[in-house]
């Protein structure tokens, strides 16, 4: 009899899920079905470019104001929104979501695909698309804020909800900090954020205990020339030819000057010159993105670009006042998670979602994030950034059998499962905040 009882107990244990789902996960799913799905649909149909997110910001401010206890301030760092929720004495946690779209024409095939066009801060009109999932991020922030406001009996402290502009231009976070994010509002002990990941399986999360994203610098290069007839190149100085030499020469900085075990990328994303077949123009313009995983390599690449550009001009006989001009217009350092905090919250994720849902982090590209501006070492704020899988297994299976490949971020074909990203992201974020603000918890130690 005792052996049968033990066997029954064992079978009962096996029948139980490895991780008991928290009650707020079901509430978040119900909230998605009730209102958040419609909110995502609206944001996806109406994306806005960096620092031009006025409609998005207004709607996010209204959504946060509708949550009891959240005090909202608009126009922080341009179009940024800050919502503060206080609940007694305890640490301060910043929860951030970015809201800008990209100058991409959507070809995802979704029923709610964007048809929006907008003039950006650069004065150029372009189609606009949420081609990086920021629409799921802001909806996930609303979901998180609603849950935490309804669960004040489970935490103590202050939460600062940040709706950030211009992540795609890696300038919005710095703009908010410059506009007093840490002086006008409670300064956080911890800063948290997440990003959708089209290459990740829906329902999973992943976070590094070290570097999460590379640095990024946007570099403009103007290559002056001397205009002439296309049939008489000797009468001018061809900027297309010089800029083409430069495009090739820049790759030598990565292949021949960089230490091979230090990742780096230089990509020329835009090359513009001339207006007609038979006219040698007087100028060419390049737009370049530069990526690195450490500050020494980053500085080496930027200095090298200036040197090589100048050298190309001199090689082609250009005078000193007409050498190529290199301008770094925006940039962000690497995003590095606090190691101890990452270990702690990765364990929380495993407990909340299930150990099989926490995927070991692996850097597969050199994407960047200006979340780094919130956690610069000089602020003493511990940072944790994680990725949330956004593609269902069926899509991976189809791709493996020769079907459509999984679209990358920034692609006109980009799409993630919004319900999966919003509900998983909000559940994980809620769990992280509850752990950091649990009553009677250990106060944060200064960052070293």
DSSP 231: T
CA nearest 164: which of 77, 223, 67, 229?
77
CA nearest 157: which of 447, 446, 438, 432?
438
CA pair distance 217, 334, nearest whole angstrom? 11
CA nearest 339: which of 194, 209, 191?
209
CA pair distance 438, 441, nearest whole angstrom? 5
Residue 348, CB half-sphere, CA atoms under 13 Å: how many?
21
Tokens 């190149």 belong to 233
User: Are 202 and 393 spatial neighbours (Cβ–Cβ below 8 Å)?
Assistant: yes
Give yes or no: 167 in active site: yes
Catalytic residue among 74, 106, 135, 167: 167
Give yes or no: 179 in active site: no
Cα torsion 314, 318, 321, 323: sign = negative
Question: Is residue 333 packed enough to be buried (19+ CB in 10 Å), middle (13-18) or exposed (0-12)?
Answer: buried
Residue 417 three-state SS: coil
Cα torsion 45, 47, 52, 55: sign = positive
CA pair distance 241, 317, nearest whole angstrom? 13
Catalytic residue among 53, 100, 135, 217: 100
Q: Which residues are catalytic?
A: 100, 167
């Amino acid at each position: 009899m005792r052996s049968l009882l033990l066997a029954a107990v064992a079978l009962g244990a096996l029948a139980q899920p490895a991780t008991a789902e928290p009650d707020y996960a079901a509430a978040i799913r119900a909230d998605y079905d009730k209102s958040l799905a419609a909110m995502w649909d609206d944001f996806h149909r109406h994306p806005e470019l960096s620092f031009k997110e006025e409609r998005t910001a207004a709607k996010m401010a209204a959504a946060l104001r509708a949550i009891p206890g959240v005090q909202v301030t608009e126009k922080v760092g341009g179009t940024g929104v800050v919502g503060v929720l206080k609940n007694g004495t305890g640490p301060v946690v910043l929860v951030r979501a970015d809201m800008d779209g990209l100058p991409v024409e959507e070809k995802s095939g979704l029923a709610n695909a964007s048809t929006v066009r907008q003039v950006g801060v650069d004065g150029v009109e372009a189609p606009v698309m949420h081609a990086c999932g920021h629409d799921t991020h802001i909806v996930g922030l609303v979901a998180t804020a609603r849950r935490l406001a309804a669960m004040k009996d489970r935490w103590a402290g202050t939460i600062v909800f940040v709706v950030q502009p211009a992540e795609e231009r890696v300038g919005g976070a710095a703009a908010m900090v410059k506009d007093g994010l840490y002086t006008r509002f409670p300064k956080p002990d911890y800063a948290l954020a997440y990003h959708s990941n089209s290459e990740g399986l829906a329902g999973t999360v992943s976070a590094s205990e070290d570097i999460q994203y590379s640095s990024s610098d946007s570099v403009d290069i103007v290559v002056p020339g001397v205009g002439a007839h296309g049939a008489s190149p000797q009468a001018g100085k061809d900027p297309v030819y010089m800029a083409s030499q430069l495009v090739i020469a820049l790759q030598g900085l990565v292949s021949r000057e960089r230490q091979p075990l230090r990742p780096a990328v230089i990509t020329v994303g835009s090359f513009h010159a001339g207006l007609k077949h038979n006219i040698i123009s007087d100028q060419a313009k390049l737009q370049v993105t530069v990526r690195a995983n450490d500050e020494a390599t980053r500085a080496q690449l930027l200095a090298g670009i200036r040197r090589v550009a100048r050298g190309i001009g001199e090689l082609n006989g250009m005078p000193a006042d007409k050498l190529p001009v290199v301008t770094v217009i925006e940039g962000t350092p690497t995003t590095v998670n606090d190691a101890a905090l990452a270990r702690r919250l990765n364990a929380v994720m495993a407990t909340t979602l299930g150990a099989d849902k926490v995927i070991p982090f692996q850097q597969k590209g050199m994407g960047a994030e200006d979340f780094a501006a919130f956690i610069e070492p000089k602020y003493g704020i511990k940072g944790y950034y994680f990725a949330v899988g956004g593609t269902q297994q069926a899509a991976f299976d189809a791709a493996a059998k020769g079907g459509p490949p999984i679209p990358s971020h920034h692609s006109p074909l980009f799409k993630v499962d919004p319900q999966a990203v919003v509900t998983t992201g909000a559940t994980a974020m809620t769990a992280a905040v509850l752990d950091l603000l649990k009553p009677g918890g250990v106060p944060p130690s200064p960052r070293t």
